[in-house]
A and B are shown apart, each in its own frame.
Chain A
């Protein structure tokens, strides 16, 4: 385990940047992995009142350690309420009661649509991925979606092999046409930077780059011709508090 005097890795920066997006949030819906780590970090450093909602039905979980699965006992034991799966989707996710959802995916396209179903042809896949889980309805209904994914041309693709989850569909107006109440993806946080939808075209655009990363390397790691805002912001490096809290959390 790195000590807090060592420079942050790109993965640590990604987690810290995702956590910062929860500074003023009321509630966040999370799966396991980096999204969960970022949300727990946000509760530790930025926002002690943040309500963590896990798909397993735990609302207001307060995990001390990073859970391996969304159903770990500590989540149920520390939650404000534990609800059934039908209740979670029909009463909590569906009506948009959860403000921000963190989602991951194997593939992301320029409109923030996600694939977590197959690589290759559906009937004869090269790689069978786990499938939709809660993502399609979470992305349709939560007020806002933040996608967290590693930045590579394998992940950020021109064309999804399967559209599991809708971001902005084929572009402006699609979410309204499909009857979605949530705003859709407001950011994609990667280990290289942050992409945000262009206000006119909805196309994911590089708005922020992490320390030590240049625009060309982000372009090279993106499978479509990536738009970049005129003056991308430099990500402020993790503070000592952010980094030491994250490393403390990972060591628990």
Chain B
């Protein structure tokens, strides 16, 4: 059963240096508060896994917390580039970063295979592209028809971290709105941390609600506003202005570092 704890304690308990960590949320419910706590606790050498790295991973890469990035789309959605990600890849700042890149379909299937504890997933894709020879995919023949398909290896991160709207006191979690790949991420990982907007006495069924039982989650921590500048449908609103602001601020290394020191590293920890 999930332990209800503080974000600081949960991160200290669950996230270790060198871990592969999947922090998911497809433009919605991105676990910013947890990522910032990881930075405050100084975790290093992380393998960051995420379909859409977004601003959170831009910050973690820029702060030098990542040794490797496993991803399928590294952009600032609707705005443009992720400048810290680009600086790391193009100029090795603050240090070089290893890349393993896929397509969205590939990453989604890799999580699903990990959640199922299968070694790989089968799909149609990658063929004819320059991605196929540089990433981890292999051709595989259908044993029934002989059709040539593609195998992608399961993702089995050490840790999955997601943000949801609500949890009950048993640590059962419910999220609604765009569900992304969060359920698969939690079930594919060895350890799982969920931050929530609020703890409630009883989960109320929601249209499209995804419920993740507390007994597959290690820790649940209350973190109101914990997905900002992304959003938690029905509770917070996406801060589109911040995504535009980030595009300007993050171009400059010094401005980036000073902003992170001021707004992330010195922030009072969630009690």
Interface residues of A (CB under 8 A from B): 32-33, 55-58, 67-73, 75-77, 82-86, 88-90, 93-94, 117, 122, 125-137, 140-141, 162-166, 169, 174, 178-179
Are A179's CB and B124's CB within 8 A?
A: yes
Taking CB atoms, residues of chain A closer than 8 Å to B253 are none
- Secondary structure dominating the interface of B: loop
Given A68-B240, A164-B129, 17 other A-B residues pairs in contact with their CB atoms under 8 A: A68-B78, A68-B243, A69-B240, A70-B77, A70-B78, A85-B107, A86-B109, A128-B74, A128-B86, A130-B75, A131-B71, A134-B105, A135-B103, A136-B105, A137-B104, A178-B128, A179-B127
Are A56's CB and B178's CB within 8 A?
A: yes
Q: Which of A71, A86, A140 contacts B184 (CB 8 A)?
A: A86
Residue of B105, B127, B177, B210 most packed against chain A (CB within 10 A):
B105
Binary interface encoding of chain B residues 180-209 relative to chain A, with 1 for a CB under 8 A from any of its CBs, else 0: 110110000000000000000000000010
Binary interface encoding of chain B residues 94-117 relative to chain A, with 1 for a CB under 8 A from any of its CBs, else 0: 000000011111011101100000
Binary interface encoding of chain B residues 62-80 relative to chain A, with 1 for a CB under 8 A from any of its CBs, else 0: 0000000001111101110
Taking CB atoms, residues of chain B closer than 8 Å to A77 are 233
Report the Cα distance A122→B181, complex, angstroms.
28
Are A89's CB and B105's CB within 8 A?
A: yes
Quick check: is B246 within 8 A (CB to CB) of the other chain? no
CB-CB nearest in chain B for A130: B75
Chain B residue total in the interface (Cβ 8 A):
57
Report the Cα distance A5→B71, complex, angstroms.
46
Smallest CB separation, B256 vs chain A (Å): 17
Taking CB atoms, residues of chain A closer than 8 Å to B26 are 56-57, 71, 85
CB-CB nearest in chain A for B132: A136
What are the nearest 7 A-B pairs in CB distance? A71-B27, A130-B75, A133-B73, A69-B77, A89-B105, A68-B78, A166-B128
Are A130's CB and B130's CB within 8 A?
A: no
**A56 with B27: in contact, given A93-B105, A128-B89, A131-B72 (CB under 8 Å)?**
yes
Are B89's CB and A70's CB within 8 A?
A: no
Q: Give 22 pairs: A residue, B residue, CB < 8 Å, sorted on A.
A: A55-B104, A56-B27, A56-B178, A69-B27, A70-B27, A70-B77, A71-B27, A71-B77, A71-B178, A72-B240, A82-B177, A86-B109, A86-B111, A86-B112, A90-B108, A128-B85, A132-B129, A133-B103, A134-B104, A136-B125, A140-B125, A164-B131
Q: Which of A76, A131, A135 contacts B233 (CB 8 A)?
A: A76
CB-CB nearest in chain A for B71: A131
